[in-house]
């Protein structure tokens, strides 16, 4: 076991909660991530198009294999040097932002299989800047057909008119092939802009992109816009939103978290993917960046301290496991409470010190919540297996998102069968379904 800080308070932690931005660099003790090992492994799993002819057959086989998988696919597209590879490396490979300065230009599609959570299993495909839709080796129809989200990255520090033209071409093609794709636009590198300039740029990009779509008769195509930078948490926030749209269980999780916080006197809760610090769900109160950043920093700190002091003497063990738990009391009467939920997920709560006096109640409710979350995913896996075993007809495939059932699945604990949350006044609260 490692990383247990149960009941311990780290004095003055609030003041020192900002370790260097990405201290998690290549942690060997995080849950095994098949694609996170080395750059070499990463490249082995890539495939290319429009490259040397003798590589083509192999590449096509790779592509066919990749397309065969049922995992949701997220595409990263945009002009050269807009920041696509940097985003992928910083969010999923713990590269520090300053290291991205040395990234070489991508000339192949890199397929990165993210299996960092038991249910958020998706692939990120990083495209080279010079994608040519007219290149016969680039089968864009096949690629777009299996895509869940298309992220188009626009460099906000550059003249973005060319990027807007490319955005229009890309999304209109993709939409014609697969109208179910979520189209996400990252107005990126905004760290170099003043606050006013950021807002103005986003407004301008939004306006021009939508005008282009209206002119092309594509008003029904919806684009979502995010201001992002790899130098702060905005890129993680934006990616969280992108990923959440691909999680069919999101409404169930949100309901569970709402019930949990209202019965436990908690102010805000995030369910995090530990490795990427993407939050896969939160309660329905608004997210403010400060709270999100605080929770991200807490995860970094727990993993860092665990990696140093929590492993066995022979260095075995994991920096994050079922006993991982941390409590930090800040100097402004706020308490941060982190607890393991699954191998890949952790819950981070923000609450007042006085609410934390009822720790027993919080722990009991956490136990119910944890059980419910496990049931959500067990039900999902069972349902997925049943569906896959029974039929492969288009009718059955249709409601699936790349192999995962859409629509809410109600765990027993949530429905009041397998348990119930306790309320702060100690009465029992059976779950409200729906
Ligand atoms: N200031 C700033 N620079 C960034 C940011 N993201 C990426 N960059 C820089 O932008 C440059 C290009 O980044 P890449 O990630 O290589 O861009 P790309 O879109 O993958 O480029 P291609 O592979 O040529 O298509 C690098 O020098 C990065 O350090 C950001 O958020 N802010």
Cα(229) to centroid of ligand 1, in Å? 10
Query: How many Cα atoms are found within 13 Å in the side-chain-facing hemisphere of 18?
Result: 6
The minimum-distance atom of ligand 1 relative to the CA of 129 is 25
Question: Whole-number mean pLDDT of the chain?
Answer: 74
Cα(9) to centroid of ligand 1, in Å? 40
The minimum-distance atom of ligand 1 relative to the CA of 188 is 31
How far apart are alpha carbons 327 and 351 in whole angstroms?
11
Pocket test for ligand 1, best of 86, 97, 106, 232 (most atoms within 8 A of CB): 86
Dihedral in degrees, nearest 10, Cα atoms 164, 167, 172, 177:
180
Range with the largest mean pLDDT of 137-141, 253-257, 277-281: 253-257
> pLDDT at position 419, please?
44
Q: Is the pLDDT of residue 131 over 80?
A: no
Q: 116 vs 375, which has greater pLDDT? A: 375
**In angstroms, what CA-CA distances link 48 with 61, 80, 100, 185?**
11, 16, 22, 24
Cα(82) to centroid of ligand 1, in Å? 5
For atom 32 of ligand 1, which residue has the closest CA? Answer: 189
Residues, the chain = 434
Cα(98) to centroid of ligand 1, in Å? 10
Contacts 24+ apart (CB under 8 A), 251-256: 251/408, 252/376, 252/408, 252/409, 252/410, 252/411, 252/414, 253/280, 253/281, 253/373, 253/376, 254/281, 254/282, 254/283, 254/284, 255/414, 255/432, 255/434, 256/369, 256/372, 256/373, 256/376, 256/411, 256/414
For atom 12 of ligand 1, which residue has the closest CA? Answer: 81
Cα(84) to centroid of ligand 1, in Å? 6
The minimum-distance atom of ligand 1 relative to the CA of 127 is 25
Q: What single DSSP character describes residue 309?
A: I
Q: Is the pLDDT of residue 3 over 90?
A: no
Residue 85, C-beta contacts closer than 8 angstroms, at least 6 positions apart: 76, 100, 103, 106, 110, 126
What does the block give as tokens for 223?
Answer: 């684009």
The alpha carbon dihedral of 311, 316, 317, 320 has a sign of positive
Cα(30) to centroid of ligand 1, in Å? 27
CB-defined site of ligand 1, < 6 Å: 78, 80-86, 100-101, 103, 105-106, 128-129, 188-189, 191-192, 229-231
For atom 13 of ligand 1, which residue has the closest CA? Answer: 83
Residue 223, C-beta contacts closer than 8 angstroms, at least 6 positions apart: 171, 183, 184, 185, 206, 209, 210, 213
Q: Is the pLDDT of residue 279 over 80?
A: yes
Phi then psi for residue 296, to 5 deg, are: -60, -45
* Consecutive H or E run containing 59: helix 56-68
The minimum-distance atom of ligand 1 relative to the CA of 192 is 1
Cα(211) to centroid of ligand 1, in Å? 27
Q: Is the pLDDT of residue 275 over 60?
A: yes
Cα(73) to centroid of ligand 1, in Å? 21
Q: 379 vs 323, which has greater pLDDT? A: 323
Express as a percent the part of the chain with pLDDT over 70: 67
Phi then psi for residue 405, to 5 deg, are: -60, 140
Pocket test for ligand 1, best of 43, 103, 162 (most atoms within 8 A of CB): 103
Cα(221) to centroid of ligand 1, in Å? 27
Cα(402) to centroid of ligand 1, in Å? 30
How far apart are alpha carbons 414 and 135 in whole angstroms?
51
For atom 21 of ligand 1, which residue has the closest CA? Answer: 81
Query: Region 71-83: what's the mean pLDDT?
Result: 87
For atom 7 of ligand 1, which residue has the closest CA? Answer: 83
Annotate 224-286 with DSSP letters as a single string: EEEEE-TTSTHHHHHHHHHHHTT-TTHHHHHHHHHHHHHHHTEEEEEEEETTTTEEEEE-SSP
| Lowest-pLDDT range of 13-17, 166-170, 213-217, 290-294 | 13-17
Query: Region 40-67: what's the mean pLDDT?
Result: 39
Strands 223-228 and 182-188 come out as parallel
Query: Region 17-25: what's the mean pLDDT?
Result: 33
* Closest C-alpha to 208, from 173, 163, 178, 174: 163
Give tens-digit pLDDT for 163-221. 999 999 999 999 999 999 999 999 999 998 999 999 999 999 999 999 999 999 998 99
Dihedral in degrees, nearest 10, Cα atoms 55, 60, 63, 64:
-150
| Lowest-pLDDT range of 21-30, 79-88, 182-191, 230-239 | 21-30
* Consecutive H or E run containing 77: strand 73-78
> pLDDT at position 276, please?
84
pTM: 0.74
How far apart are alpha carbons 201 and 159 in whole angstroms?
11
- Residue 384 binned pLDDT confidence (cut-offs 50, 70, 90): low
> pLDDT at position 71, please?
66
**In angstroms, what CA-CA distances link 264 with 217, 258, 366, 370, 418?**
50, 10, 9, 14, 19
Largest CA distance in the chain: 71
* Closest C-alpha to 263, from 376, 412, 430, 433: 430
Q: Is the pLDDT of residue 16 over 80?
A: no
Pocket test for ligand 1, best of 79, 83, 125 (most atoms within 8 A of CB): 83
Cα(158) to centroid of ligand 1, in Å? 12
Phi then psi for residue 377, to 5 deg, are: -80, -30
């Amino acid at each position: 076991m490692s990383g247990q800080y149960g009941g311990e308070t780290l004095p003055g932690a609030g003041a020192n909660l900002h370790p260097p931005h990405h201290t998690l660099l290549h942690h060997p003790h995080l849950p095994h991530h098949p694609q996170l090992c080395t750059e070499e492994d990463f490249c082995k799993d890539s495939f290319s198009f429009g490259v040397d002819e003798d590589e083509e057959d192999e590449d096509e086989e790779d592509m066919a294999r990749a397309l065969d998988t049922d995992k949701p696919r997220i595409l990263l597209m945009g002009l050269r040097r807009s920041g696509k590879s940097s985003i992928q490396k910083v969010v999923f490979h713990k590269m520090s932002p300053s290291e991205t300065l040395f990234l070489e230009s991508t000339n192949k599609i890199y397929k990165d299989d993210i299996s960092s959570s038991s249910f958020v299993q998706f692939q990120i495909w990083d495209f080279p800047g010079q994608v040519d839709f007219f290149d016969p080796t680039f089968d864009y129809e096949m690629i777009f057909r299996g895509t869940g989200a298309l992220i188009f990255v626009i460099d906000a520090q550059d003249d973005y008119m060319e990027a807007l033209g490319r955005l229009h071409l890309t999304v209109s093609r993709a939409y014609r092939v697969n109208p179910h794709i979520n189209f996400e636009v990252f107005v990126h590198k905004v760290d170099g802009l003043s606050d006013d300039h950021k807002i103005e740029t986003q407004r301008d990009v939004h306006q021009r992109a939508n005008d282009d779509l209206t002119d092309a008769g594509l008003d029904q195509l919806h684009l979502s816009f995010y201001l992002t930078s790899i130098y702060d948490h905005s890129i993680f926030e934006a990616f969280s939103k992108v990923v959440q749209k691909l999680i069919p269980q999101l409404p169930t999780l949100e309901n569970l978290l709402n019930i949990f916080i209202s019965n436990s006197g908690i102010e805000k809760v995030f369910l995090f993917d530990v490795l990427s610090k993407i939050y896969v769900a939160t309660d329905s109160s608004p997210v403010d960046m400060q709270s999100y950043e605080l929770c991200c920093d807490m995860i970094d700190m727990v993993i860092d301290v665990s990696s140093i002091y929590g492993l066995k003497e022979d260095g075995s063990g994991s920096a994050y496991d079922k006993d991982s738990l941390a409590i930090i009391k800040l100097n402004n009467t706020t308490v941060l409470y982190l607890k393991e939920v699954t191998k890949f997920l952790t819950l981070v709560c923000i609450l007042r010190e006085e609410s934390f006096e009822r720790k027993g109640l919080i722990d009991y409710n956490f136990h119910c919540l944890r059980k419910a979350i496990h049931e959500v995913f067990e039900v999902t896996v069972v349902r997925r297996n049943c569906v896959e075993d029974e039929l492969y007809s288009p009718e059955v495939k249709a409601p699936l998102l790349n192999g995962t059932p859409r629509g809410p699945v109600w765990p027993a604990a949530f429905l009041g069968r397998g348990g119930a949350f306790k309320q702060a006044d100690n009465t029992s609260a059976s779950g409200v379904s729906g």
